[in-house]
């Protein structure tokens, strides 16, 4: 027994010496088969992100879009309030191409995003809103990691832990999302790399409710499009080709229709969109695209907002003269029924 005790003591001493030599002493990592990986942090300006889905009641009288912030997340006809912003680097494990904001995410894809966010927790941070902070800093994956990109999601509840996203009660919590459209690698970036993200409404993945200002086709051919109030549909494309004459647009979707104009309800807009879709012989792999503006968004330019209550607004008014931001919701058909 004494020999065994002595052996165990020697093992403990050996392990301690190993840890001292290869972990605590600077510079010794170069002799290890798995050298210590340098940690790099990225800083993202979230002030611009916050302004994409809300506005500050303190500044709502200002005419300058650039100075508006988000201290009170008020709901507007065209926007939905966000209670927390999650942002960071996620290692993509379920696909070989990066996510982009050009493609509307299906419910299954959003579940994959949530899983990758949770599995990348070491590189993710979040902040509850409202906040006076204008930046978020997070670590990036090490050189050994492949296929990662920066993602931001806005959720409709205040978070205590990142794992809250995995709770059943928050299955439909993600209202906005944005991605850098490329995969990054550790060697491709520097700490001063500028990260820009466009936040899009999560219209397709939410089954219970949809954010204000939505207009998108479903990825299931037989399913009705999703349209909520306070959105202008300025174009519809089938496989990237406009399906209607420009003179047929816009569909100005409001809570009440205006007879003899393009101002229609959500239900009528859905009928129009189904009519366009049904005119073509579509199948799996075909793309359906809806281009939208949101003149009811209080963060839009004053030139854009000037057309919010004009029943005779044209596509040029909204997209050229009005200078509204155009958001695209492109959906590949993945199921027929």
List the one residue out of 54, 59, 62, 64 whose CA is nearest residue 85.
54
- Say what the pLDDT of residue 54 is: 58
- Say what the pLDDT of residue 77 is: 85
- Say what the pLDDT of residue 247 is: 65
Write out the chain's pLDDT in tens, 337 residues. Answer: 333 333 434 433 343 333 333 333 333 333 333 334 557 888 888 877 776 775 443 444 443 443 344 445 567 789 888 888 899 999 998 888 898 877 777 778 878 888 888 889 899 998 888 777 788 889 999 998 888 999 998 888 899 988 888 888 887 888 888 888 889 988 888 888 878 888 889 888 766 778 899 999 999 999 999 999 899 999 999 999 998 765 689 999 999 999 999 999 999 999 999 999 999 999 999 999 999 999 998 878 899 999 999 999 999 999 998 889 899 999 999 999 9
- Say what the pLDDT of residue 45 is: 84
| Spacing of C-alpha 102 from chain mean position | 11
Residue with tokens 């998108």, as numbered in its chain:
216
- Say what the pLDDT of residue 107 is: 77
List the one residue out of 52, 326, 324 whose CA is nearest residue 177.
52
What is the 3 state secondary structure string of 145-189?
Answer: CCCEEEEEEEECCCCCCHHHHHCHHHCCCEEEEEECCCCECHHHC
Kind of pairing between the strands at 174-179 and 287-293: unpaired
- Say what the pLDDT of residue 228 is: 93
Measured CA distances, 295 to 51, 61, 161, 178, 330 (Å): 15, 17, 35, 21, 21
Burial class (CB in 10 A: 0-12, 13-18, 19+), 141: buried
Structure-token pair, residue 31: 């002799």
| Long-range Cβ pairs for the range 263-268 (8 Å, 24+) | 263/311, 265/229, 266/227, 266/228, 266/229
Beta bridge partners of 1: none
Q: Compute how many other C-beta atoms are within 10 angstroms of the C-beta atom of residue 40.
A: 16
- Say what the pLDDT of residue 5 is: 39
| 318 in Cβ contact with 232 (< 8 Å) | yes
- Say what the pLDDT of residue 35 is: 38
Which residues, including other chains, have CB under 8 Å from residue 66's CB and lie 6 or more apart? none
């Amino acid at each position: 027994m004494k020999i065994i005790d002595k052996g165990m003591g020697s093992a403990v001493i050996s392990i301690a010496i190993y840890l001292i030599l290869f972990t605590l002493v600077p510079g010794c990592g170069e002799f290890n088969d798995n050298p210590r990986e340098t940690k790099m942090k990225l800083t993202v300006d979230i002030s611009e992100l916050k302004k994409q889905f809300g506005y500050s009641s303190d500044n709502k009288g200002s005419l300058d879009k650039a100075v508006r912030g988000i201290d009170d997340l008020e709901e507007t006809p065209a926007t939905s309030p966000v209670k927390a912003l999650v942002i960071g680097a996620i290692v993509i494990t379920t696909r070989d191409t990066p996510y982009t904001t050009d493609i509307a995410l299906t419910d299954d894809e959003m579940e994959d995003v949530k899983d990758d966010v949770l599995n990348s927790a070491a590189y993710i941070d979040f902040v509850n809103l409202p906040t006076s902070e204008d930046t978020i800093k997070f670590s990036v994956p090490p050189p050994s990691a492949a296929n990662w990109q920066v993602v931001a999601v806005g959720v409709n509840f205040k978070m205590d832990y990142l794992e809250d996203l995995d709770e059943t009660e928050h299955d439909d919590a993600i209202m906005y999302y944005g991605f850098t459209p490329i995969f990054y690698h550790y060697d491709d970036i520097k700490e001063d790399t500028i990260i820009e993200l466009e936040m899009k409404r999560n219209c397709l993945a939410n089954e219970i409710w949809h954010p204000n200002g939505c207009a998108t086709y479903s990825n299931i051919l037989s399913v009705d499009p999703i349209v909520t109030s306070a959105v202008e549909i300025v174009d519809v494309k089938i496989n990237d080709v406009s399906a209607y004459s420009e003179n047929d647009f816009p569909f100005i979707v409001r809570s009440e229709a205006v007879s003899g104009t393009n101002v229609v309800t959500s239900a009528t807009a859905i009928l129009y969109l189904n009519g366009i879709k049904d005119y073509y012989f579509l199948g799996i792999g075909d793309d359906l695209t809806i281009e939208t503006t949101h003149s009811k968004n209080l963060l839009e330019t004053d030139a854009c907002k000037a057309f919010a209550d004009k029943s005779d607004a044209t596509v040029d008014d909204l997209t050229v003269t009005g200078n509204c931001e155009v958001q695209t919701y492109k959906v590949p058909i993945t199921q027929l029924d």
